[in-house]
Structure 1
């Protein structure tokens, strides 16, 4: 505590603070907090001490990696801060050393430092439990094309260790890399699998079967369909897939559901090497239902039903021509937010959470998504209700009302208020009355609606989640909860939008009350947990496999090297934007407006902006700002 106090008041020079933290680790070498805060402080002073020169950082990085690892050995309280940061520092320093070697300016000291860091990480690899590395598995996998062979050897050992402990989960998480269109990435992945097989022979059959299954699923994703067919048959069109799974000797393969892919952490302190990270109920793939439904959207995704070994049926969507790696990383982030929401007393009392589902990329452009049952899209619900009342506007009529961009603002506002909004009185509340006929379920569904909309609005705002039209916002007809899908448009500058139907359905108080409180609790929590959320987001943004920002029109795509890795140039600005939003800084056209706002002020500003007709009337009509 004394050390933290000294650091936060900034009244003492670094060495004194360092000493305070070190004394703690000497007195209590097995206390996770002491080790964690020492590492964190080293990390904080590193840029200052070394004027950002990588050459001088090796020694410090070794300390940081050592103490973060020690903290993890004695507990998991800080795993989402320590693990990603520890791995990033090690992997980035390794890459830097290689870069210097290529440029011919490597010095012996840097290389020695790297091999010391490598041996520290190897030691952590044997001391830490595999489930701890599983929490950062996407990050490990994204760096399989590491330029340093020494680093790759250690990386391979870690991934193989995780694979041995959790082959079912790791296989699904590695699929996208195994089936990559970049040869080097594919080869590295196969090397890791070979290593795992060399450690446990029985895995060979499982890996072979899983690979064949993935190939057949990719064929199913990519099967061309003509525009008017709505159904295919497993027996007719995908005979081989059906036959493969029905083989007598086919390995047990886990059905990839969210509940069995995200590891749970032990509730008690200490290393808990024997901890069971997946206590849930496991269902293995037993076969497929015959019907394959083709969905109407542009890419023609296919909906399939998997028969589980538990006798239940599980629905999945196979999506072609869509890179699901962003969705997948975002789901991981949402799961982390849920962990924070569960820990916090205020949010637990309000049952705040985000609805998550499994997303499994199979390669760079296909994947499978766990189907969210009993949901309907907002636009679908409203269109149906308006049609019943005979006040539905067809696309043709709507197009006539679209004003040119140059039209005067007053005209846009007039059309929005007097034509569109008056033609479409709020009807969403009716869906709640019909779907939840008795008073108790109606009331709890409306509360769930307000709260879930609030959580996702705040998280979406902080992350810059765009493309939130009426088809991407679903509502659960069992609970009334709001479920967001399709997270391809991230890290943009977005505004919150609450249309008249959404506000009206929240009840007589509108956004006051439940909605506002849930927003405040969520923003406060994200501010408190800023450090662990940012450490996970930074690793995402620097993930060399995912292109977060779309290239400007007219520019060709970033050329990917043979490894398929890209340098995310904009990552720094994205990180900075998110940090500012978490501090309550409001920006307009890239200019900061005034001082950071309090939690309440921030939420008030966002709600005001979301419901402001002057802003809604300027939106593109296809998004339905009048709905």
Structure 2
């Protein structure tokens, strides 16, 4: 198995990096050098050496597998796998002789994002732009010359050539953030790239498992590959619009901000909750506020069925 992983070009495995990394674990029960875990670690090491910007973040997320708040540890999606964490840490140590400076700077960047995602905010700051606390300002001015903007898309190079300057690197963060509406109060931040552009990002922490979102976006990217390789769909330019999701712990990470979009709730109801598509196309239906009032009173199914025509399969 190890021989096979050495023969196949490493870039072919990059689209499946999340699935491959997720199988990493302990090899203490394995016998010989041909066991699955040894082959897996060998493959991941090769991928990280050849394509560090597409692999090391996943390993850092696994190494942070125990960074879960106490109130979340009871949830099945946040169960800590110590074998996986230790295996990732050991692999990162081995990689330090190849990409030591990059790994150190990536760890700094990851820590910044985790602290921002977990930053406690006040309810009255929702939908407002606030200045970063003083202890964050010096951290956010760090220039990490070897670390790319984490939500920027870096094309996979089959020749494993990733020259500095061919992608924007992390040059700091804007010293203000916007607190979004939501249970976990995600923060909109702006990363300053070495190309002078500002990259809007969403730092999230809480009960949402961004690892699942990342896998779904990866799946959509694979679908796009199939669409591109098929003649008919390629000619019609069919594709799914994707965005980057980068988990850093089981419950914290960063999401690429998609420009020229609006939240689904704002589209349906408008920001004032009295207009939007619901008012335009649902003339005569209850308004959002009326729905909330009736739900609060636990309105009966019969009352609802008189107002809305059931959707039938035929």
TM-score over 0.5 for the pair: yes
Q: Within 5 A, what are the aligned runs for 1:311-322?
A: 311-321=196-206, 322=208
The residue number in structure 2 matching 1:219 is 115
Corresponding residue pairs, total: 282
> Are 1:414 and 2:309 matched, yes or no?
no
The residue number in structure 2 matching 1:433 is none
The residue number in structure 2 matching 1:352 is 238
The residue number in structure 2 matching 1:397 is 290
For residues 106-128 of structure 1, the C-alpha deviation after alignment (integer angstroms, 9 at most, x for no partner) is xxxxxxxxxxxxxxx22123222
Aligned CA distance change for structure 1 residues 132 and 347 (closer, same or farther; 3 Å)? closer
Q: Is the contact between residue 145 and residue 170 of structure 2 (CA under 8 Å) also seen in structure 1? A: no
Aligned CA distance change for structure 1 residues 276 and 341 (closer, same or farther; 3 Å)? farther
Match of 1:156 among 41, 44, 47: 41
Q: Shift of residue 375 of structure 1?
A: 0.5
Q: Shift of residue 412 of structure 1?
A: 3.4
Q: More relative contact order in 1 or in 2 (CA 8 Å, sep 6+)?
A: 2
Q: Is the contact between residue 274 and residue 288 of structure 2 (CA under 8 Å) also seen in structure 1? A: no
| Structure of larger gyration radius | 1
Unpaired segments ≥5 residues, structure 2? 67-79
> Are 1:256 and 2:150 matched, yes or no?
yes
CA-based RMSD of the aligned residues comes to 3.1
Give the whole-Å Cα distance in 2 for the aligned partners of 1:399 and 1:275.
55
Q: Is the contact between residue 205 and residue 251 of structure 1 (CA under 8 Å) also seen in structure 2? A: no
**TM-score normalised per structure 1:** 0.41
Secondary structure of the structure 2 residue equivalent to 1:287:
strand
Q: Is the contact between residue 137 and residue 175 of structure 2 (CA under 8 Å) also seen in structure 1? A: no
Aligned CA distance change for structure 1 residues 277 and 241 (closer, same or farther; 3 Å)? closer
Q: Shift of residue 342 of structure 1?
A: 1.7
The residue number in structure 1 matching 2:248 is 362
Give the whole-Å Cα distance in 2 for the aligned partners of 1:234 and 1:168.
28
Unpaired segments ≥5 residues, structure 1? 1-120, 265-272, 418-611, 616-627
Match of 1:197 among 96, 106, 131: 96
Aligned CA distance change for structure 1 residues 251 and 258 (closer, same or farther; 3 Å)? closer
Aligned CA distance change for structure 1 residues 259 and 242 (closer, same or farther; 3 Å)? closer
Which structure has the highest helix share of the two? 1
Match of 2:260 among 351, 364, 374: 374
Give the whole-Å Cα distance in 2 for the aligned partners of 1:154 and 1:136.
16
Which structure has the highest strand share of the two? 2
Q: Is the contact between residue 18 and residue 58 of structure 2 (CA under 8 Å) also seen in structure 1? A: yes
Q: Shift of residue 191 of structure 1?
A: 1.0
Aligned CA distance change for structure 1 residues 216 and 386 (closer, same or farther; 3 Å)? closer
The residue number in structure 1 matching 2:5 is 125
Match of 2:311 among 603, 610, 613: 613
